[in-house]
Amino acid sequence: MLRSHHCGALSESDLNQEVTLAGWVQKVRNKGFIVWVDLRDRYGITQLVFDEKRTPEAVFKKSAELGREDVIQIKGTVIERESKNPNLPTGGIEILATELTLLNKAQTPPFTIENQTDGGDELRMQFRYLDLRRNPVRENLIHRHRVTMAVRNFLSQAGFIDVETPYLIKSTPEGARDFIVPSRMNNGQFYALPQSPQTFKQLLMVGGFDKYFQIVKCFRDEDLRADRQPEFTQIDCEMSFVEQEDVLSQFEALIKHLLSEIKGVELSEFPRITYAEAMEKYGNDKPDIRFGMIFGNLNEVAKGKGFNVFDSQELIVGIAVPGGANYTRKEIDNWIDWVKRPQVGAKGLVWVKCNQDGSYKSSVDKFFNQQDLGEWAKVTNAQAGDLIFVMAGDTLDTQAQLSALRMEVAQQMDLRNADEFAALWVTDFPLLEWDEETQRYHAMHHPFTAPKNEYLELLETNPEKVLANAYDLVLNGNEVGGGSIRIHDTQLQEKMFSLLGFSETEAKEQFGFLMDAFQYGAPPHGGIALGLDRLVALLGGSETIRDFIAFPKNNHGRDVMIDAPANVTDDQLEELYLKSLPKDPS
Amino acid sequence: MLRSHHCGALSESDLNQEVTLAGWVQKVRNKGFIVWVDLRDRYGITQLVFDEKRTPEAVFKKSAELGREDVIQIKGTVIERESKNPNLPTGGIEILATELTLLNKAQTPPFTIENQTDGGDELRMQFRYLDLRRNPVRENLIHRHRVTMAVRNFLSQAGFIDVETPYLIKSTPEGARDFIVPSRMNNGQFYALPQSPQTFKQLLMVGGFDKYFQIVKCFRDEDLRADRQPEFTQIDCEMSFVEQEDVLSQFEALIKHLLSEIKGVELSEFPRITYAEAMEKYGNDKPDIRFGMIFGNLNEVAKGKGFNVFDSQELIVGIAVPGGANYTRKEIDNWIDWVKRPQVGAKGLVWVKCNQDGSYKSSVDKFFNQQDLGEWAKVTNAQAGDLIFVMAGDTLDTQAQLSALRMEVAQQMDLRNADEFAALWVTDFPLLEWDEETQRYHAMHHPFTAPKNEYLELLETNPEKVLANAYDLVLNGNEVGGGSIRIHDTQLQEKMFSLLGFSETEAKEQFGFLMDAFQYGAPPHGGIALGLDRLVALLGGSETIRDFIAFPKNNHGRDVMIDAPANVTDDQLEELYLKSLPKDPS
């Protein structure tokens, strides 16, 4: 071992000990006759002192030449510091150095290795190995390690078995786009990387494993929206002989355990709302419930008053911004501009100030009298001093737009506190959604999700009305997990594939093994998958998953540090019986 | 929950309880007036009884129609069994059924779901989900789960941080063949799946992580020898500021912990032998030391005695088979035939019987007298009653052939007891090996392995003489892990790449990021990777890794259950700017 102690270990109880330390030079302060060096490693910082009088001459001379990030080993004696630093565990001592070995000379790094660095995002990604030396980055990843260990131990103790499922599987067109892997031994054929181990975990249930979990990499070849990665990590779970309630209570317990273990936060029972209720109250199926501004439906009280803009609309809906009556006209105009941005896409915003004296002032005073506006205040639960924002239009668009406004207002009012946690379950999702473009149904969750028993008959007549045994776990306005009770019956699964537009041949070709498996005694089963990257980020007080991934890719799916993807040799392609085509110039 | 208890839970302390159970029908015994059903799940078997007199008529009737592997749910009362089965935890009770729900009717499975099944390998792989229902298969995978949990908790407690490294990386021609993944967003470019996270774990050390581990899938597109998988799992570790001794003692502690935790076996300090010694004593760098038959070098005592077959050979070497003097002439001839098989490739075998009376009888009595043969016995440590087998030829070939013989003799003599464990470290591997075919050096471990300091000068003059800071962990004659102290100096790494035949441009293109990283203060570091599949199998008392993988692939890299790899659509290939070429008819 090149050290007797690490750099966070020594304190006043170690005085006069002879020690050997190794680490990186964080800082050098050279006073001419004395040189102080901050030596850093993963565990902390220890101050070294090289003293003209007390340090051997050659060593002292060498110490003056040290530069930032040099890797050194020193021997010396633990002595008491003259001016102690109470903020540092090692702040009471320093090491009077007697030997100094330069283990590796460092070039000056392209950015400072400090909590607040001067390096931009791109530079930090290119030199990620240097970025990893910064405390906040390292702490994020140690936090990730703690979370995964807590998850594994919790699930293992709850009887779940960690089973590794294969990475080289088969491409299926349902869902997102697969990454594919040419097979050399099976010319012209390809493996696919899993988008999730869905079918394998269901087969494990057919195989009698009863409770399965895995923390597993999944892959989706999608155009990357902000903060999405082509490879991501999932806490994947499945249980047999369960109903929805069993899955919910098991994983509610897991999330509570994590919050308690990692954050010291004790949550009480998670609220549950249906998808329909979530859309109605928050315009969003992953509502942030740390704050109010619950949607009020104004259809009944705002239509038929001669305001044409409203009368023809499917939905008129508003929220009450607490204390918003103080907004200046300019501030309100800024919000109107904000909702008109193409990212939000609203046509405009009607507003009503609820004055302290009980009167109302609105942008539509011409059409609505005080009593009308009082009704609006009632429906949106607005108090004196609040500001009501109202939008109107098609239901889905308007809900999405007002939800965006609600989140942004909360953000600006600091209502989205990263240290406060609010989780909920959203249940009763529709089984299918109609896709206008392809003129067919898509599975809202995935094709293996079971419809609720009481809706089975509607599958024939009104498939879009069928609700599913599907549920999402929402934390602080982020979907951190989703799951369902699965179909375990061959006929129902066949019916489902046919609703989704699969021909019998296609269904058999792609999922024949699963439908075969169901014929040999599949138990009722269900499960959930939690997005580990997102969960770790939220528990770490952030919504940026990239900060919690050691070697993330950029928005073009590139690793700029190792410069991947890259060209391969012609020999490699030939062996795979592949040819690269020139890029279409169009 | 569809059950109140699982099928291994109930005993005589639960008498008269009303319970709900669910599971698979293992066996039905229908006596006409009474039907017994063995109900099975992951946790055990519980006997159900349907009695003409005591069970509702409709339920009784349904019970008579149950078939193997049907999935059912029953309600009933725990009653005492008349004839108890002391071998079963639930053997004192049975459930008098009052309700029966058929959850899923099963087709008759293609093989029996018993510990000893009538299903052949291929059938069992095709219906792996049914094979997984058999106790031995499920227990192997639960054993794997226990091993991985023990590894994770041990390493985490020892300060190692679990860091996920990326799966979509860059292809590098060094080492085995990569699986590659076409990138849609970067046309004409490819990711590669990692053969190991080697460079990333070294970058984590440069990033100051100090101690890293990961249980991670790795990929090699190699022609599959028996019991190799294209995707396999590695316990991957790296440590900073360490010397070889530190890595060895840390991972010796891990293996001891696993043996103690999983098998209840306490091992004392692992022997360490050099590569040279291993080859000399066992003809093999992964010797099984659970038994003797250590090689005796006969060069000095067997040359120059007029036996031409020996005189011209590089190596004459023998082993003493305990008790082998009793072998009949036919048995000895069988061994001679065995070593002549092409898989072994020896030309023949000289033998010497060490008779109980102290005399010797050999196949070369014409050339060697009793005193000569006495010398052979001394060198091979043969006792009265033993049989000495002797081979001669080129050193490497002869060592390999005699090692194969030694292992096979031990196998047939039942000296390779799966419940006995012997681990050792093999150290001081050569850094490089000369490849005649490509006329260049290959890295014996990998290009990042550090030469021993005392050999640095030989790198220029006699590279093949240089020993490396590399080590293998051997358990019961299997290499279960290997590692090394790494190069952490840019110049030495460049030197190494040049010895391995990389041009400066090639080295920069492929490993530029690593050499850049070394310039910013890389700490001395080293690590190890353990093959999890192999380790789990050995701890499970087997050498067949396939039995410890949930969904293994066959020797052609195929998953016969899901039928992968498979064709993909033309659209998929087009999007990737790829074209499949017809297979060369040659």
Inter-chain touch A523–B71, beta carbons under 8 Å: yes
CA distances from A147 to A62, A192, A216, A540, B30 (A): 43, 29, 14, 10, 52
Q: Which backbone phi and psi does A316 adopt, to 5 degrees?
A: -120, 125
* Among A42, A178, A207, beta carbon nearest to B208: A42
A 157-176 residues inside an 8 A Cβ radius of B: 161-171, 173
Chain B CB within 8 Å of residue A533 CB: no
Inter-chain CB proximity A129 and B203 less than 8 Å: yes
Name the residue of chain A whose CA is nearest to B202's CA: A129
Q: Which parts of chain B have pLDDT scores under 70? A: 173-174, 583-586
A243 touches chain B (CB under 8 A): yes
- Which residue blocks in B118-243 are alpha helix, DSSP H? 121-126, 128-131, 135-157, 198-206
The CATH number assigned to the domain with range A12-104 reads 2.40.50.140
Give the mean model confidence (pLDDT) for residues A488-504: 91
Min Cα–Cα distance to chain B from A438, Å: 16
**At residue A585, does pLDDT exceed 60?**
no
- CB environment A263-290: b (16+ within 10 A), e (fewer): eeeeeeebeebbbeebbbbbbbbbbbbe
Nearest to A242 among B1, B168, B179 (CB): B1
The total of other beta-carbon atoms located within 10 Å of residue A122's CB is 10
Q: How many C-beta atoms lie closer than 10 Å to residue B153's C-beta? A: 16
**pLDDT band (50, 70, 90) for residue A435:** confident
Interface check A517 vs B, CB under 8 A: yes
**Is there a contact between A221 and B575 (Cβ–Cβ < 8 Å)?**
no
On chain B, the residues whose CB falls within 8 A of the CB of A41 are 208, 210, 241
Q: With beta carbons less than 8 A apart as the criterion, state whether A446 and A433 touch.
A: no
* Contact: A103, B523; criterion CB under 8 Å: yes
- List the structure tokens of B433: 């090996």
Question: If one looks up domain B291-412 in CATH, what number appears?
Answer: 3.30.1360.30
H-helix or E-strand containing A203?
Answer: helix A198-206
Kindly state whether B586 is in contact with chain A, defined as any CB-CB distance less than 8 angstroms.
no
Q: How far is CA B378 from CA A288, B321, B382, in A?
A: 83, 14, 6
Chain A contact for B511, CB < 8 A?
no
CA distance B137 to chain A (A): 10
**Chain A hits for B4, Cβ within 8 Å:** none
**Looking at the complex, does the CB of residue B177 fall below 8 Å from at least one CB of chain A?**
yes
Phi-psi group of A360: left, alpha or beta (phi > 0 → left; psi -120 to 50 → alpha; rest → beta): beta
Judged by a CB distance cut-off of 8 A, whether residue B180 touches chain A is yes
| Nearest C-alpha in B relative to A187 | B583
Task: Give B-chain residues touching A513 at CB under 8 angstroms.
Answer: 561-563
Joined together, the tokens standing for residue A343 give: 């990212």
With an 8 Å Cβ cutoff, are A243 and B1 in contact?
yes
Q: How does strand B93-104 pair with strand B44-51?
A: parallel
Using a CB–CB cutoff of 8 Å, tell me whether A264 touches chain B.
no
**Is a pLDDT exceeding 60 seen at residue A586?**
no
- Of B307, B295, B299, B408, nearest to B362 by C-alpha is B307
CA atoms within 13 A on the CB side of A490: 18
SS3 for B227?
coil
Q: A168 and B553 in contact by Cβ < 8 A?
A: yes
Interface contacts A/B by beta carbons within 8 Å: 372
Report whether B329 contacts B397 (CB < 8 A).
no
Q: Where are the domains of chain B?
A: 12-104, 138-272+423-571, 291-412
Q: Does A577 touch chain B (CB under 8 A)?
A: yes
Nearest to A531 by CA among A288, A228, A243: A228
Contact at CB, B22 and A242, closer than 8 angstroms: no
User: Is A233 close to B169, i.e. CB distance below 8 A?
Assistant: no
Residue pair B41/B90 in contact (Cβ under 8 Å)? The answer is no
> How far is the C-alpha of B266 from the C-alpha of B272, rounded, in Å?
18
Q: Does A208 touch chain B (CB under 8 A)?
A: yes
Task: Please give the structure tokens belonging to residue A584.
Answer: 């279409």
Q: Say what the pLDDT of residue B581 is.
A: 82
A572 chain-B contacts, CB cut-off 8 A? 171, 178, 180
Q: Among all chains, which residue has been given the structure tokens 């290009």?
A: B447
Query: Mapped to the 3 state alphabet, what secondary structure does B285-326 carry?
Result: CCCCCCCCCCCEECHHHHCCCCCHHHHCCCEEEEEEECCHHH
Q: Are the beta carbons of B81 and B94 closer than 8 angstroms?
A: yes
Q: Do residues A320 and A376 touch, judged by C-beta distance below 8 A?
A: no
Buried b (16+ CB within 10 A) or exposed e, A10-36: beeebeeeebbbbbbbbebeeeeebbb
Residue of B nearest to A239 (CA): B1
Q: Provide the shortest C-alpha distance from residue A161 to chain B (in Å).
A: 6
Contact assignment for B185 to A576 by CB distance below 8 Å: no
Q: Which residues of B touch A69 (CB under 8 A)?
A: 520-521
> Is the Cβ pair A169, B562 closer than 8 Å?
yes
Closest residue, chain B, to A180 (C-alpha) = B181
Do the bridges between strand A315-321 and strand B190-192 make them parallel or antiparallel, or are there none, so unpaired? unpaired
Cα gap A230→A224, rounded to integer Å: 7
| Chain B residues closer than 8 Å to A44 by CB | none
**Which region holds residue A149: left if phi is over 0, alpha if psi is between -120 and 50, else beta?**
alpha
Instruction: Collapse the DSSP code of B165 into the 3-class scheme (helix H, G, I; strand E, B; otherwise coil) and give the result.
Output: coil
- Whether B213 has its CB under 8 Å from any CB of chain A: the answer is no
B-chain residue closest to A137, CA distance? B207
ipTM: 0.95
- Cβ pair A129:B166 closer than 8 A: no
Interface touch A104/B488, C-beta < 8 Å: yes
Segment 108-167 of chain A within 8 Å of chain B by CB: 109, 127-133, 138, 141-142, 144-145, 148-149, 152-153, 156, 161-167
Give B171's contacts in chain A (Cβ within 8 Å). Answer: 566, 568, 572
Helix H or strand E segment including A498: helix A490-499
Task: Report the residue of chain B nearest A247, measured CA to CA.
Answer: B1
A560 touches chain B (CB under 8 A): no
Tell me the nearest-neighbour CA distance from B209 into chain A, angstroms: 6
A131, A134, A187, A190: best mutation site toward chain B, by most B Cβ within 10 Å?
A: A190
Helix (H, G, I), strand (E, B) or coil at A583: coil
Query: Looking at the partner chain, which of B210, B565, B566 has a beta carbon nearest the beta carbon of A42?
Result: B210
Phi, psi of B553 (to 5 degrees): -105, 160
Is residue A204 packed enough to be buried (19+ CB in 10 Å), middle (13-18) or exposed (0-12)?
Answer: buried
Q: What is d(CA B64, CA B31) in angstroms, rounded to the nearest whole number?
A: 10
Tell me the CATH number for domain A138-272+423-571: 3.30.930.10
Q: Name every chain A residue with its beta carbon within 8 A of the beta carbon of B203.
A: 128-129, 132, 551, 561
Q: Is residue A172 very low, low, confident or very high in pLDDT (cuts 50, 70, 90)?
A: confident
The pLDDT value given to residue B470: 97
Q: What is the CA radius of gyration of chain B?
A: 30
What is the pLDDT, as a whole number, of residue B142? 98
Q: Contacts of residue B513 in chain A, CB cutoff 8 Å?
A: 561-563
Across the interface, whether the CB atoms of B556 and A185 are under 8 A apart is answered yes
User: For residue A141, what is the DSSP state?
Assistant: H
Chain B: residue whose CA lies nearest to A22: B241
A183 in reach of chain B (CB within 8 A): yes
Report d(CA A551, CA A132) in Å as an integer.
9
Write down the residue that tokens 């999700």 correspond to.
A449
Q: Report CB contact under 8 Å: A179, B181.
A: yes
Q: Is B558 on the interface with A (CB under 8 A)?
A: yes
Q: For chain A, say whether B67 makes contact (Cβ under 8 Å).
A: no
